[in-house]
């Protein structure tokens, strides 16, 4: 009996030793100093802290301090980003403008089939209608003027115009004749397309490129008649040659211009209608009679 009691006591002591060893191992596994859960006896899982200052991929800064995560880990509010004022609605080009950028606009529109004449560099009603057509095809408001959005769409959809596309060597394409040009013998002169069409009873007999006066010395618009002609004439005011001059409004006349032939639309007249094709104008001079109608229009 005494031997049995001794055996039982040794067994109990061994079990206690095993339990004590197990408790030390679990505690050692908790570097935070926490012991086993009082209710379950399970060990608390180790806590892994994120390295200080390390952001997750979605919070990576994009280059400016205002784009970095806030100290509480939340994404920055919209007001924290730099404010950008949109200039998309501001007109870059509109009716009445005249520039080399307008010429490029017309050349690019022509590539896309929205402008059916040679670029003139002047933004008139035909250009505005072409811009409106392009805008509607792009799903943009058809304003007829070019804002930043319209310009960027046009740049993306076309290629840089060549020198010949910007300033074709061929005659500018005529626009629709003014109604006043449809009867009789008429020098029908369009400021929009920069052309002169010699018309008889609504039929175009010949046409040529023309140049007009500057903003300070504009070519007058309206209906006139050829008052007199001079095959050789020199301006009494500017002392420059005016061959094949056909005067229609005071000192303003249709005449050949060597400056126009040399410089093109980089220059302007003092109000006259300049022609750069001497041979064409010489032939026209012989056909036009004093009293024939002259219509200068947009």
pLDDT of residue 14 exceeding 80, the answer is: no
Residue 161's Cβ-side half-sphere holds a number of Cα atoms within 13 Å equal to 22
Per-residue pLDDT tens over the stretch 240-270: 999 999 999 999 999 999 999 888 888 899 9
Looking up tokens 């570097």 gives 31
Mean pLDDT along residues 201-223: 95
Q: Give the per-residue pLDDT at 116.
A: 80
- Indicate whether 45 pLDDT > 80: no
pLDDT at site 170: 57
Average pLDDT over residues 119-135: 92
Task: Encode 150-210 in three state secondary structure.
Answer: HHHHHHHHCCCCCHHHHCCCCCCCCCCCCHHHCCCEEEEEECCCCEEEEEECCEEEEEEEE
DSSP 295: E
Percent of the chain with pLDDT over 90: 56
Is the pLDDT at 234 greater than 90? The verdict is yes
Ranges of beta strands (E only) in 14-121 are none
C-alpha distances in Å from residue 119, one per residue of 3, 50, 111: 121, 64, 11
Q: What percent of the chain has pLDDT over 70?
A: 69
Per-residue pLDDT, 61: 36
Give the tens place of pLDDT for each residue, 156-191: 999 999 987 887 655 678 888 999 999 999 999 999
Which of 5-9, 70-74, 208-212, 235-239 is the least confident region?
Answer: 70-74
Looking from the CA of 143 toward its CB, the CA atoms found within 13 Å total 17
pLDDT of residue 82: 39
Tell whether the model's pLDDT for residue 100 goes beyond 60.
Answer: yes
pLDDT band at 117 (very low <50, low <70, confident <90, very high): confident
Residues 142, 146, 149, 150: is their CA dihedral positive or negative? Answer: positive
pLDDT, residue 11, reads 52
Position 88 confidence tier, pLDDT thresholds 50, 70, 90: low
Q: Which residues contact 64 (CB under 8 A, 6 or more apart)?
A: 82
**pLDDT at res. 175:** 85
Predicted structure pTM score:
0.49
Over residues 114-126, mean pLDDT: 86
Q: Which residue has the higher pLDDT, 85 or 31?
A: 85
d(CA 146, CA 124): 13
Q: Across the chain, how many H-helices and E-strands are there?
A: 7, 9
CA distances to 143, 199, 285 from 94, rounded to whole Å, are 10, 31, 37
The pLDDT of residue 59: 35
Across 38-62, average pLDDT: 39
According to the model, what pLDDT value does residue 10 have? 56
């Amino acid at each position: 009996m005494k031997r049995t009691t001794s055996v039982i006591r040794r067994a109990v002591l061994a079990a206690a030793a095993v339990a004590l060893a197990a408790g030390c191992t679990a505690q050692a596994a908790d570097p935070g100093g926490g012991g086993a859960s009082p209710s379950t006896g399970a060990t608390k899982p180790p806590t892994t802290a994120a390295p200080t200052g390390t952001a997750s991929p979605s919070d990576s800064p994009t280059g400016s301090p205002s784009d970095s995560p806030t100290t509480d880990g939340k994404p920055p509010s919209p007001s924290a980003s730099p404010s950008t004022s949109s200039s998309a609605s501001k007109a870059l080009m509109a009716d009445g403008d005249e520039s080399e950028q307008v010429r490029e606009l017309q050349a690019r529109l022509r590539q896309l089939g929205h402008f059916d004449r040679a670029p003139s560099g002047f933004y008139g009603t035909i250009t505005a209608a072409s811009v409106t057509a392009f805008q509607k095809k792009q799903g943009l408001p058809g304003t007829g003027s070019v804002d930043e959005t319209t310009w960027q769409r046009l740049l993306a959809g076309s290629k840089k115009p060549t020198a010949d596309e910007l300033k074709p060597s061929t005659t500018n394409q005529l626009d629709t004749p003014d109604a006043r040009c449809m009867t009789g013998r008429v020098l029908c002169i369009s400021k929009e397309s920069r052309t002169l069409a010699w018309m008889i009873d609504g039929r175009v007999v010949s046409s040529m490129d023309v140049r007009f006066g500057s903003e300070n010395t504009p070519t007058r618009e309206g209906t006139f008649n050829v008052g007199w002609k001079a095959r050789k004439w020199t301006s009494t005011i500017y002392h420059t040659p005016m061959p094949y001059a056909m005067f229609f409004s005071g000192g303003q006349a249709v005449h050949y211009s060597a400056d126009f032939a040399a410089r093109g639309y980089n220059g302007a007249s003092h109000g006259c209608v300049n022609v750069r094709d001497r041979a064409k104008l010489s032939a026209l001079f012989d056909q036009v009679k004093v009293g024939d109608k002259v219509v200068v229009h947009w």
